[in-house]
Structure 1
């Protein structure tokens, strides 16, 4: 009954595809962790030289054994000649028996009788100073996140590993935490288009002004969320316009972000004079507590915070519309016509009233991964609940703003940054409509 298979010719693209599927099933258990690592890094836009090297090393490591098997098998087949006709069925039986044994777990029982030739090498690597040091560092980083807001010793602070661009340092030179031993350091992860980060800046600037002479160094680590925040000129302009005088490191490759295991904008870590992490706070708020810890680490009397902070804004304590991204990569709560990715398309605004905290596009819009780019007649309609509405915009042009049908002052877009569209006295429900001039881009809404 299987004679038909012997008369059928296999090969070509379909045969290669089936072979690839078969090999994929075999290699998934081994390749899974590596492929998952590469995929996560790519999704987070953290692909660098090390990731490319890891991928190439895996590809070469997987290809060489297969090549050796193929070449060796060909030579053996030629050497055996006519005897291969007898060996092939026998080898097929062995392969089938092996697969059956693996399916029923017999291979695990067999492993107990086979010496672990690599166990000594594996144990040597796992117990090396480098491996144990890295594991200890990761445990400390996780412990900081778990014990946020508590004053204790979390161990040695990971070093700053920026992209090489520094602002507000002598000659643009790099700083290290090792060079700051003997001073108390506030390490602040931020990005200049983040409203939560911007609301913490008055406190950071006040602490810098009041306590620098007493031994405090505030070190900003600018880790970008959007592509335009990777440009040194944009960050330099923002630092100047925001009046930041303390050092800022550009962390475009997420080196410091990953070394600290950080996941938040903003995030503050307090480091004592010995270089140990002592306190952390994520997000806004807790300014009095943070200042008390700063003063305690400086050796000053701890009491009611005395630094006067000017121009500080506070987030709403009432439920408001959550942060809303406009690009297709993180699109959520969108209720308009179907999204066409990365191509300018005509969109139609819905005729019905949008439910709370949802939005839709109108006119010609190109929806890219992290932003939209306005074409002719581009508009956006949003149902929101908030006191203030902010939007990250880019390019140059004009945005007309209407709330509940009433026109507000239009926004002149001059560069990539956060713009305030609506500012109110209290939290309210509203219907926002924006009309963009062509070429203006929009990234994400934040609310206050």
Structure 2
């Protein structure tokens, strides 16, 4: 069962937009380079077989005499596509399971293997363009029978080192299986089940790549021009590898992936929601030695508890608000009280809780408090580092922020909420966990108690007493996502799908829903008008209503009869439509112009 889940999870990843950057290399170097060349003169003789001859047979005799002098056709290894894919599977498996731990033991940066893969990719690319350089690269492999025995007249590299390099730089899209594997590997919880899951996932992710490699070979063998120009294909393959290596350095593949809608997101979501999958990989609650004792904490507790040593911060992509953007290790903060806050910059609940975290940091940093904001994205646009930095600046965040784009730390803490607070004492023990907004006075009281426990007799500043703006009632409209993969609360009559292009407002729309009117293009994360403008009608309950928008244009809203204009500009961020004195029910009709993307409505 575990192997099947890994295989299916990997296959869904393998058909996602994340394979786009490596496809050209797979097609040309993995596939077309293994195409067999036609015997010299075969194409020409096939075209002239019924042509000019000789009555006496003299020409035929001459041809027969000359034929043996032709050089034999170059034999090409048929194993090259399979060896490229095998290299990817081996490299990905080893890096995922052991790479993080090994680099940690050696004290090396976590991205050193990726850079090594880029270097190897570039060297192989140069070798394909310059044969003499390739000969130097092949020397170390001449004594390895596995790589040399398949065909001594073909490349001794046989594609396996290329696969190893691609496996080091190939970054699959995050999904439930990959999240479980990543946390298991980074925390050292590697048992037989983890190995089975990882290998089957790697094979599943590589199968689509093998298909493209074999398709490239088949194409090259069926078109004579390709067969006659294997030298050109070698040069093109090398150029593509160099381009991929340069692109990886400049982060171009990640930018290209963001331009392509994630057409597998709905499949991933359905896959992750399966009870069988969740039970098999314990997603959302992956228990290991680091986080097993977190269950001792009651998320609603208003008194300090003891819930085990705080789990490590794993898989962090980058940091900011630290000297030189250096990473922060929880172990180095022993002796200080630490607050780990999980957040996302467009989350309205996080926006309301941030002023309290900021106030605590300002008031108690000098007294030994360290705050670490772990930014765990909910939307694809929240994975953009520049967007996160801008969002943090808008919220006044000055404490260190860790960008957890793969949700590795999120999963290592078995977290499931935005925001979520984990209060850690000076000995590194989790003493309080709180999910969501609220309980700020209680949280500050416990924070002060830990500071006094760490430094008896310390004089603390007075409590911050920041106003708590958490909605007093829970009777508000749930967050409403507009993208097709996370759509919630659609109240129209049409099928909510990218195939539906025209919508009309229903005569009877349910409370706490939205409906569309006009021509819309529905993407996985957002909706945008097909024509000059289109409309959204929202029936809401709450005190505050906000809308996440991107692009450029003026969004005009009728909020219970009052005109509100929002000037959308640039990257996605949250804009306020309504802030009332008290919770209420109402109707908002929003006119969205072309060039503006609408992501969601949030309520408070």
TM-score with structure 2 setting the length: 0.53
Specify which of 27, 34, 53 is matched with residue 6 of structure 2.
34
In 2, are the aligned partners of 1:142 and 1:261 still within 8 Å (CA)?
no
Higher strand share: 1
Specify which of 334, 337, 359 is matched with residue 514 of structure 2.
359
List per-residue Cα deviations over 1:23-80 (Å, max 9, x = no partner).
xxxxxx464453576679965596699587551257999xxxxxxxxxxxxxxxxxxx
Q: What does 1:419-430 correspond to in 2, within 5 Å?
A: 419-430=575-586
In 1, are the aligned partners of 2:504 and 2:518 still within 8 Å (CA)?
yes
Higher helix share: 2
Give the match for residue 450 of structure 2: 297
Q: Deviation above 4 Å: which 4+ runs of structure 1?
A: 35-54, 57-61, 145-150, 309-312
Give the match for residue 166 of structure 2: none
Deviation at 1:243, TM superposition (A): 1.5
Give the match for residue 409 of structure 1: 564
- Counterpart-to-counterpart distance in 1, 2:564 and 2:288: 54
Measured at CA, do residues 326 and 311 of structure 1 come closer, stay the same or move farther in structure 2, by a change above 3 Å?
same
Deviation at 1:232, TM superposition (A): 0.6
1:237 and 2:369 aligned: no
Residue segments in structure 1 that go unaligned for 5+ positions in a row: 1-28, 62-132
Deviation at 1:394, TM superposition (A): 1.4
List per-residue Cα deviations over 1:69-109 (Å, max 9, x = no partner).
xxxxxxxxxxxxxxxxxxxxxxxxxxxxxxxxxxxxxxxxx
List per-residue Cα deviations over 1:153-211 (Å, max 9, x = no partner).
11111111243321110011000101111100000000110111111111111111111
1:184 and 2:340 aligned: no
1:382 and 2:538 aligned: yes
Q: Find the residue that maps to 1:163 and give its secondary structure.
A: coil
In 2, are the aligned partners of 1:341 and 1:366 still within 8 Å (CA)?
no
Deviation at 1:423, TM superposition (A): 1.4
- Counterpart-to-counterpart distance in 1, 2:177 and 2:579: 33
- Counterpart-to-counterpart distance in 2, 1:281 and 1:338: 40
Deviation at 1:326, TM superposition (A): 1.3
Q: Find the residue that maps to 1:217 and give its secondary structure.
A: strand
Give the match for residue 57 of structure 2: none
1:368 and 2:368 aligned: no
Give the match for residue 435 of structure 1: 591
Q: Find the residue that maps to 2:290 and give its secondary structure.
A: helix
Give the total of aligned pairs. 347
Specify which of 401, 408, 413 is matched with residue 255 of structure 1.
408
In 1, are the aligned partners of 2:179 and 2:408 still within 8 Å (CA)?
no
1:444 and 2:444 aligned: no
- Counterpart-to-counterpart distance in 2, 1:151 and 1:35: 44
In 2, are the aligned partners of 1:206 and 1:307 still within 8 Å (CA)?
no
Specify which of 398, 411, 418 is matched with residue 265 of structure 1.
418
Q: Find the residue that maps to 1:175 and give its secondary structure.
A: coil
Measured at CA, do residues 184 and 30 of structure 1 come closer, stay the same or move farther in structure 2, by a change above 3 Å?
closer
* Residue range with higher mean Cα deviation, 43-52 or 178-187: 43-52
* Residue range with higher mean Cα deviation, 275-284 or 320-329: 320-329
In 1, are the aligned partners of 2:511 and 2:540 still within 8 Å (CA)?
yes
- Counterpart-to-counterpart distance in 2, 1:163 and 1:251: 5
Deviation at 1:379, TM superposition (A): 0.9
Measured at CA, do residues 55 and 43 of structure 1 come closer, stay the same or move farther in structure 2, by a change above 3 Å?
closer
- Counterpart-to-counterpart distance in 2, 1:343 and 1:58: 29
Q: What does 1:132-147 correspond to in 2, within 5 Å?
A: 135-144=288-297
Give the match for residue 55 of structure 1: 201
Deviation at 1:228, TM superposition (A): 0.9
Measured at CA, do residues 360 and 203 of structure 1 come closer, stay the same or move farther in structure 2, by a change above 3 Å?
same
Deviation at 1:259, TM superposition (A): 0.9
- Counterpart-to-counterpart distance in 2, 1:141 and 1:266: 17
Residue segments in structure 2 that go unaligned for 5+ positions in a row: 14-172, 183-196, 208-285
- Counterpart-to-counterpart distance in 2, 1:194 and 1:153: 29
In 1, are the aligned partners of 2:299 and 2:434 still within 8 Å (CA)?
no
Q: Find the residue that maps to 1:209 and give its secondary structure.
A: helix
1:174 and 2:327 aligned: yes
Q: What does 1:21-420 correspond to in 2, within 5 Å?
A: 29=1, 31-34=3-6, 54-57=200-203, 135-144=288-297, 148-299=301-452, 306-310=462-466, 313-317=469-473, 319-339=475-495, 341-342=497-498, 345-350=501-506, 352-376=507-531, 377-404=533-560, 406-414=561-569, 415-420=571-576
Q: Find the residue that maps to 1:220 and give its secondary structure.
A: strand
- Counterpart-to-counterpart distance in 1, 2:342 and 2:539: 31
Measured at CA, do residues 266 and 248 of structure 1 come closer, stay the same or move farther in structure 2, by a change above 3 Å?
same
Deviation at 1:324, TM superposition (A): 1.3
* Residue range with higher mean Cα deviation, 366-375 or 198-207: 366-375
Measured at CA, do residues 150 and 366 of structure 1 come closer, stay the same or move farther in structure 2, by a change above 3 Å?
farther
Deviation at 1:403, TM superposition (A): 2.3
Measured at CA, do residues 323 and 45 of structure 1 come closer, stay the same or move farther in structure 2, by a change above 3 Å?
farther
In 1, are the aligned partners of 2:541 and 2:584 still within 8 Å (CA)?
yes
Q: Find the residue that maps to 2:6 and give its secondary structure.
A: helix
List per-residue Cα deviations over 1:355-384 (Å, max 9, x = no partner).
211221111111222221223231101111
